[in-house]
Structure 1
Amino acid sequence: MTAPAARGKGIARCLYDDLFAKARAAGHERVVCEINSDPPNPASERFHRALGFEQVGEALLENGKTVSYMACQLTS
């Protein structure tokens, strides 16, 4: 979770740009993440979809939360 005062400043985007570059350099084809879908986290879903993530699965966790598994295919 990002602190409200830090939101919208591009920090998370910079972190993901760095992650994507390192993943590509290591020969990885995709980056995956997990976001809450119940209770929902629409801001996180919008952010990840804007980066190119697509839902590839879903799970109900032992704590009662439902999560979506998202993947972003890396291109050269």
Structure 2
Amino acid sequence: YHWFREFQRDNFSVQDAPRSGRPSTSVNEQTIDATGKIIQDDPHSTYQQIENILSTKSTAINSIIHDYLNLRK
């Protein structure tokens, strides 16, 4: 229903609109670099190990690994 309404408004974009609110502070260049180094030093590191080392939440680690480092298992 939502998509139908948007198409009626001539909004054919499939991109997300900007959202209000505070941006994530746990995903930054420092944590991206640190996560990459941990994985490079020990490719068998688990999400939980990386979370504990960096004191960062699992959602941030997941985003860094998949969205920024483009790594897949």
Do Structure 1 and Structure 2 share a fold, with TM-score over 0.5?
Answer: no
Higher helix share: 2
TM-score by length of 2: 0.34
> Larger radius of gyration, structure 1 or 2?
2
Higher strand share: 1
TM-score by length of 1: 0.33
